[in-house]
Chains A and B, each alone.
Chain A
Amino acid sequence: MTWLWIVIAIVVVLLLVVVYLFNKVVRLRNEVNTGWSNIDVQLKRRNDLIPNLVETVKGYAAHERGVFEAVTNARAAMARASSPAEAGAADRLLGQALGRLFAVAEAYPDLKASQNFLQLQSELTDTEDKISAARRYYNATVLAYNNAIQTFPTLLFAGMFGFAAREFFAADEGDRAPVDVSFQPSA
């Protein structure tokens, strides 16, 4: 009789542990989803800015066709991207294309002085900064989530419940390498 109770107790404790771990992983996965939607908001905002920017530059430099095409293609690739890794690759292309567009703009003083262009340029810079901020948060949540499902004991049931590892959103080359911040307060 005592043995039966001990077995029941062990089973109950194990179940509680699994419930706790399950909830933890779900919470981490939700954070990853929130992180991704934060990036998505900024990517959409940038996508909406680009046609205006292209039109404005066209008004002054209509013959620079190659540049406009590169930007339009990269923007389309961005819209097609279905995973964080693809979006990261498209993001790099778009960044290069926009870089060329701004390099072209340098050659047209009237364009550079245009209020509309300056406004778009500063909004685009702001969006780029926000994408990079959102990426830092997203990648941190992915790291926490992946670590949780790939370590013992969560590892044992992660596959069973369909928890799959998530992709990072690739960083620009210009980004600083991640640092591991650990510390020991001395007070």
Chain B
Amino acid sequence: MTLQQQIRANRWKTLLVVVSFAVLIVVFAAASAVFVGRAGAIGLLAFGAAYGLFAWWNAGRLVGGLTHAQPLEKRDDPELYRLIENVSIAAGLPATPPIYLIDDPAPNAFAAGSRPSSIYVGVTSGLRKLMPERELEAVLAHEISHIRNKDVRLMTLAAVLVGVIAIISDFAFRMAFFGGRGGGRDRNPLQLIAAIVAILLAPLAAVLLQMALSRRREYLADASAAAILNDPEAMALALRRLQLDTSEVQYADRATAHLFIESPTRAVRGSGAFLAGLFQTHPSLQARIEVLQEAGGFELPALPPGAPED
């Protein structure tokens, strides 16, 4: 599959995901109506919509706060800005996004934001120190690809929708079991069980959707970065360097994990088992390196014995 075909396929998947989310939210609202009545369900939906809009509008700032990212001026690190400017030009972005620095020794990077004016690239100080220029450029190209392929926008949307479902679910439970006008007593028990299952499963399904989305996009961003720089080996070398490093980003958790270039925490990295696989935001670094090796027709030296594979 070529890059262009993959981007096109991705657009359909994006639509599919947005529609799935919409269906999920409607099913969910219908289910909660059993507990909180029709007016309650409409109220919850309205509250969820308001919360979602607020989160969408402020997504960049929220992520910046969660990861402790500070804006970096061009004069503070002209070299890094030179790289990101070149990469943005090669990717055909209309403007170069600003860089935010995270003071953390673990090497990692992410792109965040929702509106075009609020999108930025976050880089840890560890990444800046660890990576030679060629690999640093590849990591920046990976993040710029996420921006150009509209991954950042979609992932932010997915995160906001997951948040909306989670918060509505939380409220529905509180309203149903502590006061509220819960009219559940005269309902069919089967209907009640179905409603409980729906309310329990909706947030879970939302998270799974978000993660499946994230994993596919990592391969695409790797391939885009390789194409932008015309250098698949640089991307593979950068991933290999991340593979050999085992430190974790301090201010990263499940809420922000899907944004990073590699899974930022051990808990999120998990093991290779099927169930853990479902909950991973990223494919293993080894799998990503192998895809790049195949595309570029080169081979990195083997891993030293005992090194982690993901």
Q: Could you tell me which A residues sit within 8 Å of B by CB distance? A: 31, 34-35, 38, 42, 126, 129-130, 133-134, 136-137, 140-141, 144, 175-176, 178-187
Q: Are B294 and A134 in contact (CB under 8 A)?
A: no
Cβ-defined contact, A176 with B230, below 8 A: yes
Interface size class of B (residues with CB under 8 A): 35 or more
The CA-CA distance from A183 to B216 in the complex, in Å, is 12
- Which residues of A are found within 8 Å of B223, using beta-carbon distances? 181-183
Residues of B within 8 Å of A144, CB to CB, are: 4
The reply to whether B85 and A130 form a contact with Cβ atoms under 8 Å apart is: yes
Cross-interface CB contact of B215 among A141, A184, A187, cutoff 8 Å: A187
- Is A176's CB under 8 angstroms from B4's CB? no
Interface pair A186/B89, CB less than 8 Å apart: no
Tell me if B90 and A183 are in contact (CB < 8 A). no
Which secondary structure dominates chain B's binding surface? helix
B188 within 8 A of A: no
Q: With contacts defined as CB atoms under 8 Å apart, how many contacts are there between chain A and chain B in the complex?
A: 83
* Cα distance A130–B1 in the bound complex, in angstroms: 30
Contacts A34-B92, A176-B231, A182-B295 known; 10 new A-B pairs at CB < 8 A? A130-B89, A133-B87, A136-B90, A136-B230, A140-B92, A175-B230, A183-B292, A183-B295, A184-B1, A186-B283
Residues of A within 8 A of B295 (CB): 179-183
Smallest Cβ distance from A68 to chain B, in angstroms?
28
Can you show 19 pairs from A to B with CB atoms below 8 A apart? A38-B92, A130-B86, A133-B87, A134-B89, A136-B229, A137-B90, A141-B92, A179-B226, A179-B296, A180-B295, A181-B2, A181-B226, A181-B227, A182-B2, A185-B219, A185-B291, A186-B283, A187-B216, A187-B277
B168 CB to nearest A CB, Å: 30
Docked Cα-Cα span, A185 to B296, in Å, equals 15
Q: In the bound complex, how far is the Cα of B62 from the Cα of A39, in angstroms?
A: 36
Interface bits B235-249 vs A (CB < 8 Å: 1, else 0): 000000000000000
CA distance A175 to B86 in the complex (A): 15
- CA A182 to CA B227, docked complex, whole Å: 10
Per DSSP, chain A at the interface is helix
CB contact between A137 and one of B2, B91, B231, B292 (< 8 Å): that residue = B91
Q: Are A137 and B3 in contact (CB under 8 A)?
A: no
Interface residues of B in 282-310 (CB under 8 A from A): 283, 287, 291-292, 294-297
- Does residue B82 face the partner (Cβ distance < 8 Å to A)? yes
Q: Please, how many angstroms separate the alpha-carbon atoms of A176 and B219 in the complex?
A: 23
Q: Which residues of A contact B264 (CB under 8 A)?
A: none
Q: Is A183's CB under 8 angstroms from B219's CB?
A: yes
Asked if B107 is an interface residue, CB under 8 A from chain A, the answer is no
Encode contact with A along B215-226: 1 for CB under 8 Å, 0 otherwise.
Answer: 110011011001
Contact B291–A129 (Cβ < 8 Å): no
Within 8 A of A (CB), among B50-92: 82, 85-87, 89-92
Contact A183 B291 (CB under 8 A): yes
**Cα distance, A119 to B238, chains bound together (Å):** 31
Q: Which residue of the partner chain, among A178, A182, A187, contacts B3 with CB atoms under 8 Å?
A: A182
Contacts of A136 in B (CB 8 A): 90, 228-230
Query: Given A178-B230, A185-B216, A186-B287 in contact, is the A137-B92 Cβ separation under 8 Å?
Result: yes
Residue from A31, A38, A176 in contact with B89 in the complex, judged by beta carbons closer than 8 Å: A38
Interface code B192-229, partner A: CB below 8 Å = 1, 0 otherwise?
00000000000000000000000110011011001111
Q: Are B90 and A134 in contact, CB atoms less than 8 angstroms apart?
A: yes
Query: Could you tell me the distance between the alpha carbons of A180 and B297 in the complex, rounded to whole angstroms?
Result: 10
- For chain B residues 231-288, which have a beta carbon within 8 Å of chain A? 231-232, 277, 283, 287
Cα A137 to Cα B228 in complex, Å, equals: 7
Q: Which residues of B contact A31 (CB under 8 A)?
A: 92
Q: How far is the CB of B166 from chain A (nearest CB, A)?
A: 25
